[in-house]
Amino acid sequence: MTSLFLLSYVKQVWLAGFHSVCVRSGSTTDIRILSSGSLMKEGGSHGRAEIMTFRAHRASWREVELAEVEEDEEETEFENQTAGNGLSSLGWYHANLSRHAAEALLLTNGQDGSYLLRNSNSKSNSYSLSVRARDSVKHFEVLQCGSFFKFGFNEFPTLKQFVEHFANQPLIGSESGTLILLKHPYPCTVEEPSIYESVRVHTAMQTGRSESDLVSVAPSLGTKEGYLTKQGGRVKSWKNRWFILSRNELKYFKDKVSAEPIRTLDLTECSAVQFDYSQEKVNCFCMVFPLRTYYLCAKTGAEADEWIKMLRWKMSQIKKQAQ
């Protein structure tokens, strides 16, 4: 700002018939304005010189540093907005919790109807409501437009009204037809006991290994559930089955309330998942295994595409872990 002001001032003085000379010293800048026709030389001046000196503090940062500050301000703008709308005081708001961590928390410690609010990983001014439904976790978008919060078909002018809506235990439904009663907000702070087991045995089982040999391995946590129509293996009839995708397994049940699955498909053995147009039904896709190809149909093309994307993502994670 100081530099721009000085340049503007010198330009105006020049147009008025004066010359300007800038002399910098320490943290200040002297601007000497000379009358037209006078010449400044080393050790003195030739002719009559009317000198006016203006002193101004130089900027104490470089242009690069200023750019970094502006970038930091942009990154924290959404955080400041979150603090301003009061979300930071909400007990079940988990801020920058990732989708992966939210699923791990809700599947491990939550129960049916447990939910939490977190920042969206992909959009600004947007949040994700992560909800546990049986053995899977579903994610719903919550948009913020100014002071308004938009969730589903409802708009809430204030954060208080938004929170009161959840206090009344709303019932929400997903595209797969699952109805979820939001009953248990998952707190952002959970007490942890400070009790530890004593080490009784501690010995290395291998030798010659280094830090590079430590490879973290865990199954991907993306989950999905819903009804799909499945073609039988021997009898080629079609029946509705309840499917649950969790970790590296796809289980299907007779219906939603059945406790035991009819079969569990190991995704590590699946070689391909793709749309299929060989069947008489629409919105079909197939899963190729060594001993059998499974044909499945969804209610809509969008739902079939979602299943395919999730299954393919699971398979890509399995390949990464195997490498």
Residue 86 pLDDT: 76
> Where is the domain boundary, 131, 157, 185?
185
Is the pLDDT score of 15 beyond 90? no
Q: Which one is predicted more confidently, 180 or 55?
A: 180
| Residue 213: inside a domain | no
Residue 71 lies in a domain: no
Full domain range(s) for residue 146: 87-185
Q: Is residue 201 part of a domain?
A: no
In a domain, 274, yes or no: yes
- Best CA proximity match to 50, nearest among 30, 31, 35: 35
d(C-alpha 17, C-alpha 21), whole Å:
14
The model's pTM: 0.57
Choose one of 126, 160, 185: the last residue of a domain: 185
Inside any domain, residue 124: yes
Residue 239 has pLDDT above 90, yes or no: yes
Domains in the chain, number:
3
Residue 53 within any structural domain of the chain: yes
**pLDDT of res. 7:** 43
Residue 78 has pLDDT above 50, yes or no: no
Q: 171 and 93, same structural domain?
A: yes
Query: Range with the lowest mean pLDDT among 16-20, 88-92, 171-175?
Result: 16-20
The 8-class DSSP code of residue 93 comes to B
- Residue 24 and residue 60: Cα distance in Å, rounded? 13
293: confidence class by pLDDT, cuts 50, 70, 90: very high
- Between residues 217 and 131, the one the model is more confident about: 131
Mean pLDDT of the chain: 77
pLDDT category, 85, cuts 50, 70, 90? Answer: low
pLDDT of 55 higher than 60: no
Residue 173's CATH number? 3.30.505.10
Measure Cα distances from 271 to 266, 294, 309 in Å. Answer: 11, 12, 14
pLDDT confidence of residue 54: 42
Mean pLDDT across 61-84: 47
| CATH number where 306 lies | 2.30.29.30
Whether 308 is in a domain gets the answer yes
Residue with the larger pLDDT of the pair 64 and 141: 141
3-state secondary structure of 141: strand
Each residue's pLDDT tens digit, 111-165: 999 999 999 987 877 999 999 987 788 899 999 888 889 998 889 999 899 999 9
* CA–CA separation, 165 and 177 (whole Å): 22
Residue 146 forms part of a structural domain: yes
Out of 20-29, 82-91, 276-285, 307-316, pick the least confident. 20-29
Shared domain check, 129 and 168: yes
Whether residue 272 is predicted with pLDDT greater than 60 in this model: the reply is yes
Q: Return the percentage of the chain with pLDDT > 70, whole number.
A: 73
Beta strands 284-288 and 293-297, pairing class: antiparallel
Name the least confident of 50-59, 67-76, 169-178, 305-314: 50-59
How far apart, in whole angstroms, are the C-alpha atoms of residue 87 and residue 140?
Answer: 17
Q: Which of 185, 214, 237 is the last residue of a domain?
A: 185
**H or E, element range at 132:** strand 126-133
Asked if residue 297 and residue 232 are part of one domain, the reply reads yes
